[in-house]
């Protein structure tokens, strides 16, 4: 029987999740999934050093998983690796440079760099630089580095990656003949995230949310390359961690695994309506749905239509923009000063 403790840190529109697993013999295993933005690495380290590592007797996380190379996921991991160094036994991360030719990868970076005066291109360049810096640092400290692709697992599948598959991941990367098209598409999605221009009908998003969710179900190739991780804990409860994965990524998972009847899930991409569909939500039917988001009128995350569509399918929905970091635990874990029962959104 596996006890599980999940911390979703309050980092605005950025992701960092700590998972603490304990078996029947009280052996602990600590997983860090993403690290937020580069400036937030210190917050992640502080949380680990205060709430997790002393209680487990660990000197560093046992496993770090980088879901994908967007800067709000990989950035803070640079500080984490620099802090714990080779005390970290293992890291799962996909390096796009290892799946396409060096020439093509350089062409991709140069194409983004040429247009980096525009904010959305600058953000993508920063993400690509972050993944290069992160991989260099991991290798510098001789940390075991494994690809974060379907089939990677721990403890006979208790912790396992459902996606992306190797073939799907490679299909998301550009060929030499469409680098410019790929760059343009990635920038379009980055622009939509950086400069929201919608004025949603809040009444309609409350009354009829699921058709609004289904009106737009596309996201960037980078988002679709996100790791989709499943952890199975007490009574075979399924916990799903999704990064910024989109509908296409979940469809890839369904070619080899079921997404039916989840117990707990991290809602992808800060609660964007683009990354899930009502069909997927109905299939997943999570009892608990947690979102990492900044909230507020100036931000479109979490999207009200998505929140209400999840609720219509029976989920209890929580977000870090309401009350800060979220702690969900099942089993024997020490109490936390200052933590109280969270309110649904």
Looking at the predicted structure, is the pLDDT value of residue 46 above 80?
A: yes
Looking at the predicted structure, is the pLDDT value of residue 289 above 70?
A: yes
- The CATH homologous superfamily of the domain defined by 3-330: Ribonuclease Z/Hydroxyacylglutathione hydrolase-like (3.60.15.10)
Q: Give the pLDDT score at 312.
A: 97
* Arithmetic mean of pLDDT, 81-90: 98
143-180 residue pLDDT tens: 999 999 999 999 999 999 999 999 999 999 987 678 88
pTM above 0.85, yes or no: yes
* Arithmetic mean of pLDDT, 136-142: 98
Looking at the predicted structure, is the pLDDT value of residue 28 above 70?
A: yes
Q: pLDDT over 90 for what percent of the chain?
A: 85
Task: Show the 3-state SS of the chain.
Answer: CCEEEEEECCCCCCCCEEEEEECCCCCEEEEEECCCCHHHHHHHHHHHHHHHHHHHCCCCCCEEECCCCCHHHHHHHHHHHHHHHHHCCEEECCCHHHCCCHHHHHHHHHHHHHCCCCHHHHHHHHHHHHHHHHHHHHHHCCCEEECCCCCCEECCCCEEEEECCHHHHHHHCCCHHHHHHHHHHHHHHHHHHHCCCCCCCHHHHHHCHHHHHHCCCCCCHHHHCCCEEEEEEHHHEEEEECCCCCHHHHHHHCCCCCCCCCCEEECHHHHCCCCCCHHHHHHHCCCEEEECCCCCCCCCCCCHHHHHHHHHCCCEEEECCCCCCEEEEECCCCCCCCCCCCCCC
Domain regions of the chain by residue span: 3-330
Mean pLDDT, rounded, of the chain: 95
């Amino acid at each position: 029987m596996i006890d599980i403790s999940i911390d979703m840190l309050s980092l605005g529109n950025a992701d960092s999740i700590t998972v603490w697993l304990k078996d029947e013999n009280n052996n602990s295993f600590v997983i860090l999934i993403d690290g937020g933005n580069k400036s937030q690495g210190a917050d992640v380290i502080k949380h680990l050093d205060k709430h997790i590592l002393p209680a487990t007797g660990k000197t560093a996380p046992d496993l770090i998983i980088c879901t994908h190379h967007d800067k709000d996921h990989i950035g803070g991991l640079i500080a984490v690796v620099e802090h714990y160094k080779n005390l970290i036994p293992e890291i799962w991360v996909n390096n796009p440079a290892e799946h396409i030719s060096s020439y093509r990868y350089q062409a991709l970076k140069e194409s983004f760099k040429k247009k980096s005066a525009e904010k959305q291109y600058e953000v993508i360049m920063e993400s690509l630089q972050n993944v290069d810096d992160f991989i260099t640092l991991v290798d510098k400290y001789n940390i075991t580095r494994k690809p974060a692709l379907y089939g990677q697992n721990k403890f006979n599948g208790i912790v396992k990656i459902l996606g992306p598959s190797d073939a799907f991941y490679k299909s998301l990367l550009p060929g030499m003949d469409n680098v410019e098209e790929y760059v343009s598409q990635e920038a379009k999605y980055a622009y939509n995230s950086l400069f929201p221009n919608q004025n949603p009908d809040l009444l309609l998003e409350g009354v009829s949310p699921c058709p609004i969710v289904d009106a737009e179900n596309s996201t960037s190739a980078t988002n679709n390359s996100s790791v989709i991780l499943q952890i199975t804990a007490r009574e075979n409860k399924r916990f799903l961690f999704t990064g910024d994965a989109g509908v296409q990524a979940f469809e890839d998972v369904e070619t080899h695994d079921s997404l039916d009847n989840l117990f707990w899930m991290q809602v992808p991409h800060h609660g964007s309506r683009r990354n899930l569909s009502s069909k997927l939500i109905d299939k997943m039917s999570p009892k608990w749905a947690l979102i990492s988001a900044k909230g507020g009128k100036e931000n479109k995350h979490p999207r009200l239509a998505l929140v209400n569509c999840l609720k219509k399918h029976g989920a209890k929905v929580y977000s870090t923009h309401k009350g800060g970091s979220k702690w969900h635990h099942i089993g024997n874990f020490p109490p936390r000063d200052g933590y109280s029962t969270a309110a649904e959104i």
